[in-house]
Every structure is written in C-alpha cells, then in structure tokens.
Amino acid sequence: MKTVQLPDGEKVPALGIGTWMMGERANARKEEAESVRLGVELGLKLVDTAEMYGEGACESFLGEALAGLRDKVFLVSKVYPHNASRAGVIAACERSLKRLKTDRLDLYLLHWRGGVPLAETIIGFEHLKSQGKIRHWGVSNFDTDDMNELYETPGGEGCVTNQVLYNLTRRGPEWDLIPWLQQHEMPLMAYSPIEQGRIKTGGALAEIAAKHGAKPFQVALAWALRHPGNIVIPKASHPEHMRENAGARDITLDAEDIAKLDAAFPPPSRKRSLEML
C-alpha cells in the first residue's frame, strides 16, 4: 500500500475509505459493513467519518462494522464547528468515541470554519491529545487564507492535514492551497474524489482506462493519488466497488495520460474560492 507521511513522520495509507451517508438505511447496513471490512482487509485502513454524518448514525454504524478491526484502522472523525469551543470539542469527542466504540481517534478534524475562535479549538484539541483521546488533529474545508490564520494562531502548527473537496472537476486547490500544503509538508486529504460518481466517464477517462485495462473511476482515483502528498478517501457502499477502488493503487499514469486529463479537465487559471459538498 502506498503511504503518505504526516508532519510528525507517521505514515498512513494514501488510499482510504469515506463513509458519508453510510449507516443511514437499515436495508443497506449489512452490505455497507461488508464493504468497509473488505476495504480494511485490502489495505484501505484509513477510515473517515464525522459526527455530522447522519447526526452520529455513521459513527455508530462504524462502531459495529469495525468490531475486532479497531487496531488495524487509522480512524478519522470530524467535529461540527458549533461544537468546537474549548469545552465543546472535548464533549463532542467523547460522544464520538462512545458511538465508535473506541477509546481514541487517530485523527480529529474541525469540519469547517465556524464562529468559534481557532485558538479555543486548538486548546481543546491539544487537551484531547494530552489525555490520549486523539493522536493527531487537523482541519477540513480550509482555504489558503484560513491555513495562514491557523498557522498564525498559537499551537496552529500542530495541524497535520487539511481535508478538502478535490477531484478532476474540482481542481481549484491546485492554484495556491496545494502549494501552501506542500511548502508546509502537510498532506491534502481529498474527499469526493470521483465527485460522488458524477464525473463523466467518457472521452479521456475512457481512453486511458482502456489503455490500462481499468475502469474510468479507477483512473480518476489514480489521478488523485498521483502526488505523494495526497490522501484519497472514496466511498464504496458495495464490496465490488471497494475492490475497484483498491485496484486504483495499481495504476500508474504516464505523462501522456496526465496531459490528456489536463486537456479534458483543465487546471485552474486563477484563484477560486474553495468549494464544499
């Protein structure tokens, strides 16, 4: 499994598992759990969730789905901005731990900017670290100016990643956010890397997929994985889709492939505000 190095030197899987909207439909839970467990077996051991997903339902689902697998998984969750005060983030984390049936999170993220001062959130995160409740903390949906403000805040350099929307059709972060992250040796975590299945699979994607004996979505994932500092977290509710996602690790795109994708999905020519889903 290709890995990505966090700022403190710890290595995590470059390809993980997203879980948005999992665990919310009773008739799908069994297959979704099978998919998650298969992904872990296939080496996609970074599993991402959030208290927002189903208002805790997804965390509860993962608490069941990952039974017996906790020590094999790098577990990520996210806190609501309105819960991110010094005391609020501690209470929110405790609730997430209870739902996930675990005693610690490997990574805890601020889901997006809110009204709570970053200094308060950082103090809460650092307290949770000191108590062993979380091992690392980071942010999500932070644009470049947000990252600058974070780093100007005492303790802000403790951030280990920024999880943002990034895929072939959402390349805005390439203008200045990704260079900022690279400069600070901080991984980008890409959510919705195939735009929730909405990326057009014809044209260049289809041609490149045929060349590699792969499927178009696998090529889109391979593209997102192409940089050594990217962590990519696609969702797969069905085991066969999870196997397809895992297969993206075996695809190495060459310069011709990248050029074709740039022509079909042009990189940004100016600064764009960070997009969210």
Query: What letter would DSSP give residue 192?
Result: S
pLDDT at 174: 97
Contact 134, 104 (CB under 8 A): yes
Both tokens assigned to 121: 């959130």
- pLDDT average, residue stretch 88-98: 98
Alpha helix ranges (H) inside 153-253: 177-183, 203-212, 216-224, 239-247
What residue spans define the domains of the chain?
A: 3-264
pLDDT at residue 1 is higher than 90: no
Asked if pLDDT for residue 105 goes beyond 90, the answer is yes
End-to-end CA distance of the chain: 28
pLDDT digits (tens, 9 = 90+) for 35-67: 999 999 999 999 999 999 999 999 999 999 999
Tell me what pLDDT residue 112 has.
98
For residue range 155-167, what is the model confidence (pLDDT) as tens digits? Answer: 999 999 999 999 9
- Contact assessment for residue 184 and residue 148, using Cβ atoms and an 8 Å cutoff: no
CATH number, span 3-264: 3.20.20.100
Q: What is the pLDDT of residues 170-180, one digit of tens each?
A: 999 999 999 99
Minimum mean pLDDT range among 23-27, 101-105, 126-130, 159-163: 23-27
For residues 272 and 176, give the distance between their C-alpha atoms in angstroms, rounded to a whole number.
9
Closest CA to 100 of 49, 35, 176, 166: 49
Active site positions, annotated: 53
For the chain, the average pLDDT equals 97
* Reported pTM: 0.97
Give the separation between CA 240 and CA 243, rounded to whole angstroms. Answer: 5
pLDDT tens for 201-247 read 999 999 999 999 999 999 999 999 999 999 999 999 999 999 999 99
Among the residues of 49-143, which ranges form H helices? 57-65, 86-100, 118-130
Residue type, 5: Q
